[in-house]
Amino acid sequence: MEEVEVNRCQIQEWYPKFKSDSIKTEILDLPESFIEYLLDDNGPFLLPLSIEDNDALPNRIHKPEDEEDCEVTGGSEDESEIPPTPPSFPELEMKVKESIQSLGGSAFPKLNWSSPKDSAWISSTGNLKCTSFSEIALLFKSSDSVVHDLCHAYDSCSNKTISRPPKFVLALRKWYPSLHPEMEFRCFVRNMVLVGVSQREVTGFYPSLIERKYELKTAIQSFFSAKVKGKFESKSYTFDIYVTLDHRIKLLDFNPWGAFTLPLLFSWEELEEGGNELDFRIVENQCGVRPGLKTAVPRDYLDTSPGSGWDEFLRKANEELHL
C-alpha cells in the first residue's frame, strides 16, 4: 500500500466526486490549534469553552488589568492552584453550528478517515449523534480512532515519507435516526474487480438478509459497475455502502486494501487468493455471530449510584463549576 492510496480514501478527496451517491456532508478545515488540543494529553481533560459559555461567564476571561486589584493573602504553599483556562475555538464552533443546522440539527462527525466510533459510549446518547461543537470535541478527545488519523495513518505504507496529511478536516454527515444496521455492507475490490461483499454489522443475525441475499448481491454488483468502477483511482480498495428501504445504494466510505481495514466475514488471505467470482457473505445463523469490536466500558463508568466513582466525579465537577 502506498501513500497515494491512503490519501485517496480521505473523505475530502472522494466525497466531491461521489457526492450524488453519498449522504449529505459538510466538510470544514480544522485549525492547527484544534489538532494540538486533541493531541495534548499532558494536562487535565478540558472541553473547549463554548461561545455561549463565553457570553454567560465573562469573568472567566483573563484580563491583565484585573491583576492590579489582586491581593496576595497567604503563602504560596497554602494556596490552591489556579485552574487551567479551557481552550476556545469560536470561529470553528460557529462554522460547526451553521453546518449542523444545515444538516437538520444533528450530525455524525469524522476526521479525514475515521469516526470516533470507539468513544460513542461516553456520549449522553450512547452513539455518535452530535448537536453541538462540545459534543464533537468530547468524542474526538476520547477516541483512539481519531489518534490513528492524527498520528498513524501512514504507518502501513511501503513508501512512507510523511507522518500526517497536510491538513485535517472535520466532516459532518447528516444524521439518520432510523438506519437499519443489517443493510450496511463492506465491498472489497481487488485489481478493479469486486471480489467480496460482507455484512458490515457482524454482531447480529438478521434472517431477512438470507431471503434477500441474491437480490442484494445483484444490486451491489450493478452499483459497483455503474457508479464506482473506474471512478475511484486505486486498483485495490474497499468501500462501504448502505442499501435503503427503496433499494437505493448510498456510498458511506472508502478504505485502503489491507492494513488497518477490517475484512469482517473474510480474511485478507481469502480475499487475496480468491477468484474473480463475487463472494457475498452474511451471518447465516446465530452461531455465525462475531464478537463486537466496540471498546468495552468499565463497570465503574456505568455505576452512578451514591458513593460511586461517577457520583464523586460529578459532585466535584459541580463544585468546580460553581467556583
Do 185 and 170 lie in one domain? The reply is no
Interval 258-313: pLDDT, tens? 988 999 999 999 999 988 899 999 999 988 888 765 444 444 444 455 555 555 55
What residue spans of the chain are helical by DSSP H? 3-8, 11-18, 32-39, 51-56, 90-102, 133-141, 144-147, 207-223, 268-273, 299-302, 309-322
Is residue 120 assigned to a domain?
Answer: yes
Whole-model pTM? 0.81
Residue 188 domain-assigned (yes or no):
yes
191 lies in the same domain as 49: no
Domain range for residue 248?
179-292
Note whether 213 and 103 are same-domain residues: no
Are residue 125 and residue 255 in the same domain, yes or no? no
Count CB atoms within 10 A of the CB of residue 155: 12
| 133/207 same-domain check | no
Whether residue 89 is contained in a domain is answered as: yes
Average pLDDT of the segment spanning 36-56: 79
How far is the CA of 3 from the CAs of 6, 61, 163, 176, in angstroms? Answer: 5, 43, 10, 33
Q: Work out the pLDDT band at 66, boundaries 50, 70, 90.
A: very low
The 10s digit of each residue's pLDDT in 225-257 is: 999 999 999 999 999 999 998 889 999 999 999
Same domain, yes or no: 13 and 33:
yes
User: Lowest-pLDDT range, 57-71, 87-101, 174-188?
Assistant: 57-71
Does 266 reside within a domain?
A: yes
Q: Is the pLDDT of residue 145 over 50?
A: yes
Q: Is residue 23 part of a domain?
A: yes
Give 24-41 pLDDT, tens digit per residue: 999 999 999 999 999 998
Are 102 and 152 found together in one domain? yes
Q: What is the pLDDT of residue 289?
A: 84
Do 154 and 229 have their domain in common? no
pLDDT band at residue 85, thresholds of 50, 70 and 90? confident
Dist. CA 239–CA 197, nearest whole Å? 10
- What is the spatial distance between Cα 153 and Cα 18, in angstroms, rounded to a whole number? 22
Residue 318 within a domain = no
Can you tell me the distance from the alpha carbon of 140 to that of 131, in angstroms, rounded to the nearest whole number? 14
Residues 191 and 173 both lie in one domain: no
Cell numbers found for residue 26: 459538510
Q: Specify the residue for cell string 458511506.
A: 252
